[in-house]
Amino acid sequence: MKSKKECLNALETIMDTKLEEVDGLWWPIETVGQFRREECKTLGNLIHEHFENPAFSFEEIDCETPVFDKATQSWLLVQRKIGTAEDNPKMIAYIAEDQTIDEVEYEPNRFYAKPFLLEGSLG
């Protein structure tokens, strides 16, 4: 796996510009076209998200620990896990958004320790 520095260096090379971090977001220092600026922002944020807020594996999710669900953009409180990572993993969870308890399928790259913006919702 590449390091965060290697990923940012690759992004800088692609953009042919240097990046700086401002409030946790990566921005080009030099002015580039609007299309490339948005792409740079998106890729920089994805790199930041990947290294600073990695997705939980099924094994890493603890019962009674809140997790952020990327698919629904809401918090879950996992009460019980069903199955294994290899065999149709599911969880019984309290869903904070609608205050219900429901079965939720585990999917890789879906559950995180903290929230983040979805693609296309960058400011």
Q: 74 and 100 share a domain?
A: yes
pTM for the predicted model, two decimal places? 0.61
Contact yes or no for 95/71 (Cβ under 8 A): no
**In this structure, are 73 and 104 located in the same domain?**
yes
Torsion of CA 7, 42, 61, 115, to 10 degrees: 140
Number of C-beta neighbours around residue 44 at 10 A: 23
What's the domain range around 36? Answer: 4-52
| Residue 60 falls inside a structural domain | no
Residue 123, pLDDT score: 36
**Number of domains comprising the chain:** 2
Model confidence at 59, in pLDDT bands (50, 70, 90)? Answer: very high
Residues 6+ apart with CB under 8 A from 31: none
Residues 78 and 44 in one domain: no
- Residue 16: inside a domain: yes
| pLDDT for position 120 | 47
Predicted confidence band at 100 (pLDDT cuts at 50, 70, 90)?
Answer: confident
* Statement: residue 57 has pLDDT above 90: yes
Which parts of 1-123 are beta strand (E)? 19-22, 25-28, 66-69, 74-84, 87-95, 100-105, 111-112
